[in-house]
C-alpha cells in the first residue's frame, strides 16, 4: 500500500523535470520512448510497483522503475557509482520514518517536502524555504468617540423629547384605560396607550395604511431623531450614505399584522394581507427606514425581549467605534396593546389589575405593587462619531461611553435570586466604559413594578455602588408603563435629558417602600436637582437578558 503513491510520485516528479542543458535526454532513449505506447508505459509502471509491494529490493525496484519508465536521463547528482538508493531520494532516515512500525504515516506537508528532494537541482530550488512574509501591523489609532446628536420619541406622555421629559419631571402619568379595543372581559384593562398619533409628514399615507403600528412608531421616531439632529435634505445629500446605518429592534414585532392575517386565513388564504410576513418581522422597520433614507451602512434589528433597545444602542455604537459607520439610528419600538398581546401577558400573570386607579398602577419598589403595566411607543437615538458631528456643527446632547450584556442563564421570566447576572453586567459595563463606580451618580433603573424584579435589581445596585451618598435612582416606568422592546431607548432619552437639564424625574406612587429599600437612594415624589457625572440605564428581558448602557456629559 505504501509503494503505490511512491511509484505514482516517481513518475510524476521525473516527468516534470525540465529538459535543459544539464538534463538533456539521450537521443537513443528519446527515440525509444517515442516507440513506447502510453499503455505500455503504464503496464511497466504497474509491474515495477507490484514487485516493490511484494517485498523486492527498494533500491532495485526504484532503479528499475527509473531505467524502464523514464524518457529522461536522471541527473548526475543522484547517479553515483553505487547506483540509485532510497536514501538518495528521501534521506537516510526516511525508510524508518515512512515504513517503520513505530512511526506515523507522513502527513501531506512532509510528503510535499520529501517530494522535492529527489528531482534534481531544478526542483531543489523550488523547495527552498520561502522568505518569511512579514505583515505590517495596523497602526494604533485613538478610539473613536460616540456622541448623541439627535433624539426621537413616541410615548404615552409626549411625542417630542422636551415635552416627554417635562411631563416626567411633573410626575404626569400616561397610564389609562385601554380605548383601542374592547377589553372588558380581561382582568387587566389598563395600559400606557398612545391616544393620539399621526404619521402626517413622516410616513407616506399608502404605507401608513398597511404597516403595523410598531413600524409606524419606529419610522416616525427615527425621522424625528434625524430632524432633531439637524439632518436636513441639504445635509443628507452631503452624507456618505454607505457609512450611515439603522439598528432599531422590537421585542414583539408586527403582532397586529400577523394576528389579522390569522383571522383572514380562517376565511381563505386569498383574504390574507400579502405584506403580513414582511411587516410582522422585527427587522422590517429598520429596513424600511433605511430604504426611505437611502442609508446603506449596517442595517438589522436585535430582539432580546425588553432589553432590545439597549442591545441595539450598544451594537450601533460599536459599529461607529470600529470605523464601520459614522452615523447610526438606533433604539427600539413596540406596539403590543392588542387583544393577543394583552391576553398573553395576562396569561403570564405579569400585569397589574389596578383597573380602578390606572395612574397608581405602576409603582416600582412599593409594597403594594401587583405587576407591571404594558406601554407602547418608540425611542430612537442618533449616534454619531465625534469628529463627524463636530465637522457638521451638530449639537451634542451627551456622550455614549459604552455598556455590556450578560445572561442570567437561570429562568425564562424570573431574575436570578442573587442578581449575579445583573451585577456582572454592571461591572462589565463600567470596565468597558472606563468608568469607576464612584463616578456614577444617576441610574435609570429597569424597575418594572414586579414583585421579584424590583427588589433583585435594587439589591444588585447596592452591591455594585454601595452607599454612595450622591447616587440617585428612579424608574421612568412609574409614569409610562413598560414599553417592552422600546423601553430601553425611551429611558435612554430620559437619561440624556436628565444630563442636559440637571433634573431627575420623580418616582411616583412610591408611597410605602419595600422593606430594606433606602429612600435616600431613590428619588422621591418630586423632581430633584442633580449634577450628573455619569449615568447608567438598565434594561432586562425575558430569557435572562441583562443590559447596561452608560452616558455622560460631553466634555
Active site annotation includes 388: no
Catalytic pick from 118, 319, 388, 482? 482
CA 58 to chain centre: 61
Write the pLDDT tens digit of every residue in 313-341: 999 999 999 999 999 999 999 999 999 99
The distance between the two most distant Cα atoms of the chain, rounded to a whole number of Å, is 113
Tell me if the pTM is above 0.85: no
Active-site option among 118, 319, 416, 446: 446
Say whether 108 sits in a helix, a strand or coil.
helix
| Whether the Cβ atoms of residue 219 and residue 329 lie closer than 8 Å to each other | no
CA distance 212 to 337: 12
Both ends of the chain: CA-CA distance in Å?
75
**Mean pLDDT over residues 475-490, rounded?**
98
Q: Which residue is catalytic, options 306, 312, 330, 425? A: 306
Encode pLDDT of 90-101 as tens digits: 344 443 433 344
Active-site residue, 118 included: no
Alpha-carbon distance of 76 to 95, in angstroms, equals 23
Which DSSP category does 374 fall into?
B
pLDDT score of 413: 86
Using pLDDT thresholds of 50, 70 and 90, give the confidence band for residue 58. very low
pLDDT tens-digit readout, 104-115: 444 444 444 444
DSSP assigned state of 158? B
Residue 127: what pLDDT?
Answer: 43
306: annotated active-site residue: yes
Interhelix angle 3-15/38-53, rounded to 10 degrees, is 140
Burial of residue 500 (CB within 10 Å: 0-12, 13-18, 19+) is middle
Amino acid at each position: 500500500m505504501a509503494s503505490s503513491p511512491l511509484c505514482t510520485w516517481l513518475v510524476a516528479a521525473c516527468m516534470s523535470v525540465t529538459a535543459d542543458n544539464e538534463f538533456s535526454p539521450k537521443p537513443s532513449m528519446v527515440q525509444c520512448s517515442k516507440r513506447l505506447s502510453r499503455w505500455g508505459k503504464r503496464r511497466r509502471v504497474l509491474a515495477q510497483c507490484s514487485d516493490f509491494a511484494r517485498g523486492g529490493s527498494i533500491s532495485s525496484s526504484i532503479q528499475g522503475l527509473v531505467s524502464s519508465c523514464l524518457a529522461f536521463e536522471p541527473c548526475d547528482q543522484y547517479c553515483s557509482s553505487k547506483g540509485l538508493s532510497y536514501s538518495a531520494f528521501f534521506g537516510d532516515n526516511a525508510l524508518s520514518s515512512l515504513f517503520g512500525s513505530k512511526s506515523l504515516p507522513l502527513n501531506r506537508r512532509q510528503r510535499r517536502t520529501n517530494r522535492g528532494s529527489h528531482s534534481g537541482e531544478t526542483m531543489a530550488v523550488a523547495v527552498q524555504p520561502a522568505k518569511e512574509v512579514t505583515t505590517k501591523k495596523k497602526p494604533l489609532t485613538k478610539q473613536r468617540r460616540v456622541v448623541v446628536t439627535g433624539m426621537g420619541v413616541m410615548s404615552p406622555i409626549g411625542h417630542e423629547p422636551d415635552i416627554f421629559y417635562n411631563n416626567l419631571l411633573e410626575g404626569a402619568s400616561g397610564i389609562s384605560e385601554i380605548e383601542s379595543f374592547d377589553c372588558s372581559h380581561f382582568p387587566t384593562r389598563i395600559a400606557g396607550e398612545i391616544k393620539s398619533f399621526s404619521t402626517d409628514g413622516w410616513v407616506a399615507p399608502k404605507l401608513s395604511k398597511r404597516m403595523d403600528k410598531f413600524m409606524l412608531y419606529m419610522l416616525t421616531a427615527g425621522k424625528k431623531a434625524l430632524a432633531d439632529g439637524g439632518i436636513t435634505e441639504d445635509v443628507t445629500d452631503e452624507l456618505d450614505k454607505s457609512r450611515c446605518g439603522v439598528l432599531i429592534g422590537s421585542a414583539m414585532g408586527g403582532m397586529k399584522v400577523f394576528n389579522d392575517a390569522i383571522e383572514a386565513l380562517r376565511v381563505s388564504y386569498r383574504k390574507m394581507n400579502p405584506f403580513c410576513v414582511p411587516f410582522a418581522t422585527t427587522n422590517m422597520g429598520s429596513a424600511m427606514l433605511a430604504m426611505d433614507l437611502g442609508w446603506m451602512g449596517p442595517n438589522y434589528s436585535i430582539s432580546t425581549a425588553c432589553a432590545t433597545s439597549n442591545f441595539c444602542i450598544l451594537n450601533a455604537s460599536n459599529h461607529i467605534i470600529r470605523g464601520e459607520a459614522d452615523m447610526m439610528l438606533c433604539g427600539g419600538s413596540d406596539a403590543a396593546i392588542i387583544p393577543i398581546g394583552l391576553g398573553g401577558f395576562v396569561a403570564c400573570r405579569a400585569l397589574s389589575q389596578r383597573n380602578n386607579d390606572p395612574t397608581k398602577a405602576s409603582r416600582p419598589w412599593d409594597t403594594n405593587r401587583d405587576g407591571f403595566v404594558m406601554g407602547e411607543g418608540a425611542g430612537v437615538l442618533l449616534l454619531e462619531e465625534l469628529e463627524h458631528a463636530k465637522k457638521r456643527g451638530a449639537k451634542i446632547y451627551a456622550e455614549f461611553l459604552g455598556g455590556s450584556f450578560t445572561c442570567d442563564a437561570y429562568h425564562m421570566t424570573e431574575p436570578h435570586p442573587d442578581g449575579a447576572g445583573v451585577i456582572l453586567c454592571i461591572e462589565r459595563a463600567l470596565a468597558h466604559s472606563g468608568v469607576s463606580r464612584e463616578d456614577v451618580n444617576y441610574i435609570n433603573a429597569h424597575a418594572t413594578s414586579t414583585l421579584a424584579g424590583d427588589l433583585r435589581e435594587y439589591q444588585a445596585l447596592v452591591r455594585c455602588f454601595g452607599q454612595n451618598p450622591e447616587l440617585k435612582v428612579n424608574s421612568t416606568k412609574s409614569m409610562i408603563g413598560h414599553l417592552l422592546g422600546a423601553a430601553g431607548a425611551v429611558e435612554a432619552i430620559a437619561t440624556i435629558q436628565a444630563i442636559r437639564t440637571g433634573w431627575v424625574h420623580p418616582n411616583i406612587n412610591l408611597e410605602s417602600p419595600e422593606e430594606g429599600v433606602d429612600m435616600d437612594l431613590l428619588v422621591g415624589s418630586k423632581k430633584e436637582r442633580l449634577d450628573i457625572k455619569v449615568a447608567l440605564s438598565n434594561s432586562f428581558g425575558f430569557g435572562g437578558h441583562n443590559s447596561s448602557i452608560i452616558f455622560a456629559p460631553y466634555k
